[in-house]
Structures are given as structure tokens and as C-alpha cells.
A and B are shown apart, each in its own frame.
Chain A
């Protein structure tokens, strides 16, 4: 499993065959997706992997779970109106 240790962007860049700007770009995507948190300490940015980020992440399942709940409730109101109109 991924560790909770932090890495600075520079050290990440050193370990990948990638320029620092390229790593920053990927970090930004990961950050926006909720996988990592970023802390500025001194002159460095530290990136920490968020294991929770994987489950909190919005995905089709959480989306459609509420989607269907709402839609089926709406169907319920619609059908109830039908009864009241009789």
C-alpha cells in the first residue's frame, strides 16, 4: 500500500525521468482529483498521498447512487399526484 510519507516536488522530479514543470503538472492533476494534499514548508512544496482520496473521489457510483434515489423519489411524487387527481 502507498505510504503516507511526503515528498517534495523536486525529489519527485529527480526520481522520474521528467522535468520539474511536468511533474508539477501531474501533481496538480492528482491534487485536483483528490489523491494528494500539498503543504508548503519553507521553500518547498510537500506532496502527501491521501489514501482516503481514493474513496472520497467522486465517481460514477456515488453519482448514480444519488441520481437514482432522486429520480425514483420524483417518480414517487408523480405517481402520488396521480392518486390525488383521481
Chain B
């Protein structure tokens, strides 16, 4: 199951200023995370943050710039994992800027996020295969029928 996160904020600044805070590494680092971003399509960069052991996440977010429309749109991939090559986060972040008078409306969409990622990490294959069986068995056991 995939879902998209959406947030919209309005800032009392021109799109040019807001764009700077989305595309200049030192400015991005001030509110988002340390990074080596470059506003070039195809550029691979990283964000560095704290690991989340529960999510099998080592704190490194690997990104690639996918689309740039200066002052209007910025899209990059947002991926991560436990650090052993396995990827359990494979999403896309999309920024859209819309001028509103003297302000800028900044719209964020973070798509491709899987729910319940913990399920897949916490269970091994055998357990997953038995997932449907549990349903069956619990119903069977509850009604006192001998096992099939």
C-alpha cells in the first residue's frame, strides 16, 4: 500500500528566496538536513540524519535529482535502508512553488511510501507465507475443529 504525504505552507517571501532554501546546500542544511545537493538533473546526493533502528534505517538518505523547473518545481528521489545494500525506503519528494502576491506557497508531496514497512523487516519469509494460515487456524481453533 502506498500513500502520499502532502503539506502546503505559505511563506512571506518571493519564490526566489524560497527556491534558494530548497537548492543551496548550506541553506537546506539549516532547516532540513546536512547534504550535498546540486540543482542539476541526475545529480546524486545524500542527506545525513539519525538512524532509526526500528525501521532498519541507517540514517543516510540517498537522493537523485529528477526534475527541475527553476523557481517552480523540484523533484528528487528519496531512498534509504539499513546500509547493507537493501532498500526499504524508495520514495519521491516533489516541491512546487506558487507565487501568491508577495508570498510563496510551497507545496510538498512525498510519494511512494510504504506503510507497515516493519512487517516486512520483522518477519522472515516463512512467517509471511504462514500469514494466511494464521487466519485459517485461528478460526479453526476457535471453533474446535481438528487441524486440517
Contact = CB atoms under 8 A, between A and B. Distances in A.
Interface of A: 1-3, 5, 7, 11-12, 14-16, 18, 26, 29-30, 32-33, 35, 49, 54, 57-61, 63-65, 68-69, 71-76, 78-80, 82-83
Contacts of A75: 9, 11, 21, 31-32
A78 B21 contact: yes
Interface string B116-148: 111100110011001001110111111000010
A3 B138 contact: yes
Given A2-B138, A7-B138, A29 B147 contact: no
Q: What size tier do the contact residues of chain B reach?
A: 35 or more
B106 A60 contact: no
Contacts of A14: 147
Contacts of B55: 58, 60, 63
B40 interface: no
A57 B18 CA distance: 34
Contact of B21 (A58, A69, A79, A83): A79
9 closest A-B pairs by CB: A5-B142, A75-B31, A74-B31, A60-B113, A15-B137, A72-B9, A29-B122, A33-B122, A59-B115
A54 B108 contact: no
A59 B13 contact: no
B115 A61 contact: yes
23 contacts: A1-B135, A3-B142, A5-B139, A5-B141, A11-B141, A18-B126, A26-B127, A29-B122, A30-B123, A35-B119, A49-B138, A54-B116, A59-B118, A60-B114, A60-B115, A64-B113, A68-B110, A78-B21, A78-B31, A79-B11, A79-B12, A79-B17, A80-B12
